[in-house]
Amino acid sequence: MPRRPPVSRRRKPHQDRAQATCEAILTAAARVLVKNGYEAASTNRIAREAGVSIGSLYQYFPSKEGLVMAVMERHRTRSLAGFEAELVRLASQPLPQAIRALVRQLLTTKLENPRLHQVLHELAPRMRQLGQVDPHEQRLFRLVRAFLAPRAEELRPKDLDMAVFVLVHSVETLCIKAVADRPDYLTNEAFLDELCALMQGYLQPAGASSRTTPKKMTGRGRSSASREISARP
């Protein structure tokens, strides 16, 4: 029941105190979203949880939706930063190793606060109003595309945009579904193996490949059930 179009004539925090209030509201919002879900996450409850009055909340956020958007914004920006750093670091690595490192990065990121990732992911479709395209998603797509473009020769897919679409959405969703239905997968090295196999098999169906270590996935598939995913190999 939004009363009017979000007028966004909200204060910008200038003093440290205000900054802290904003921070408290955002983290409380994330916490309540995780604990109670979107419906039950009333603005009053979030304010209370933040130790702040409801009035303060509406000084810095134009509406409940605006607040949730801000939470998503912050969260996705951070996640993307981590992913981009890894992408840069792996720019010149051979593809199989790069893929593995990237997937591992995704999984460990999700592992920090799985539920928040899940909730925000499931909330995303409801937030983009009227055909708004998610700028973070666009950015993610461009990053992955830029990563793949130099290796286009070694790759099976001809349509790079379509390949990025396929890769990003499938891996992202598999991580989220794992959070929701199979949390054990998140720390199961065999699952990481499968995600890598999915991407690898899609991009380079063993045979094409290149000058760069075309090793055909050795030592995978047996007795990997108990290995655990850790920070870096």
Partner DNA sequence: CCAGAATGTGAGCTAGGACTCACGTTCGCA
Partner DNA sequence: TGCGAACGTGAGTCCTAGCTCACATTCTGG
Footprint of a copy of itself on 53-112 (CB under 8 A)? none
Residue 206 near which of a copy of itself, DNA, none (CB within 5-8 Å, type-dependent): a copy of itself
Interacting residue with a copy of itself among 152, 213, 217, 227 (CB under 8 A):
217
Q: Which long-range contacts (CB under 8 A, 24 or more apart) does 132-139 make?
A: 136/73, 136/76, 136/77, 136/80, 139/80
Report if residue 214 touches DNA, rule: CB under 7 A. Answer: no
CA distance 169 to 183: 19
Report if residue 21 touches DNA, rule: CB under 7 A. Answer: yes
**CA-wise closest residue to 99 among 219, 202, 210:** 202
Interacting residue with a copy of itself among 17, 158, 211, 232 (CB under 8 A):
158
CA distance 192 to 198: 10
Residue 160 near which of a copy of itself, DNA, none (CB within 5-8 Å, type-dependent): none
Side-chain half-sphere exposure of 69, counting CA atoms within 13 A: 16
Report if residue 189 touches a copy of itself, rule: CB under 8 A. Answer: no
Side-chain half-sphere exposure of 59, counting CA atoms within 13 A: 15
Question: Measured between alpha carbons, how far is residue 45 from residues 29, 35, 129 in Å?
Answer: 9, 12, 25
First to last CA, the chain: 50
Smallest gap from residue 119 Cβ to a copy of itself (A): 9
Question: For DNA, how many residues bind (rule: CB under 7 A)?
Answer: 31
Report if residue 129 touches DNA, rule: CB under 7 A. Answer: no
* Closer by beta carbon to DNA, 39 or else 153: 39
Footprint of DNA on 84-103 (CB under 7 A)? none
Q: Biggest alpha carbon distance in the chain? A: 63
Interacting residue with DNA among 27, 31, 34, 58 (CB under 7 A):
58
SS3 140: helix
Residue 191 near which of DNA, a copy of itself, none (CB within 5-8 Å, type-dependent): a copy of itself
Q: Which two tokens stand for residue 26?
A: 């955002």
Residues that bind DNA (CB under 7 A): 1-4, 6-7, 11-18, 20-21, 40-44, 52-56, 58-59, 63-65
